[in-house]
């Protein structure tokens, strides 16, 4: 596995702010510096971000948190995305699977610190 360094990936992702102190990497999810709104771009990028974190030997613990008074309380989607086709669902599935598999590749403890409300599954279907 190739190694990554924080200075190579810390500013690579639009919705993640990263800072490391004494081996503890804090990853703060955000949208334009404020509370995180889940988007298609974030869905695509998280898989890559998790690979970078997994490959960084200086990460000893990772803390995942949000910004502001919520963790992920809303979606950032087009106002009328239309009907989701089978082709789109297959992309969403592949991206989601890659994101989760890459998260599992991180070999250090991960602490989730939800700083407020987060979406529940019924919210996604509305």
- 41-55: per-residue pLDDT in tens? 888 899 999 999 999
pLDDT at 96 over 70: yes
Residue 122, CB half-sphere, CA atoms under 13 Å: how many?
0
Q: Where are the domains of the chain?
A: 6-121
pLDDT per position as a tens digit, 62-89: 999 988 887 777 777 665 566 778 888 8
Token representation of residue 102: 């890459």
Spell out the residues 6+ positions from residue 56 whose beta carbon is closer than 8 angstroms to its own: 3, 4, 5, 6, 9, 25
Q: What is the pLDDT of residue 84?
A: 72
One CATH from 3.90.226.10, 3.40.50.970, 3.30.450.90, 3.90.1720.10 for 6-121: 3.90.226.10
pLDDT at 99 over 80: yes
């Amino acid at each position: 596995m190739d190694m990554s360094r924080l200075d190579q990936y810390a500013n690579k992702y639009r919705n993640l702010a990263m800072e490391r102190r004494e081996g503890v990497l804090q990853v703060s999810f955000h949208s334009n510096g404020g509370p995180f709104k889940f988007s298609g771009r974030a869905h695509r990028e998280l898989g890559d971000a998790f690979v970078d974190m997994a490959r960084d030997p200086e990460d000893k613990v990772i803390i995942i948190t949000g910004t502001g008074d919520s963790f992920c309380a809303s979606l950032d989607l087009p106002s009328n995305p239309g009907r989701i086709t089978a082709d789109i669902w297959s992309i969403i599935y592949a991206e989601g699977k890659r994101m989760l598999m890459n998260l599992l590749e991180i070999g250090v403890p991960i602490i989730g610190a939800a700083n407020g409300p987060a979406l529940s599954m019924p919210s996604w279907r509305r």
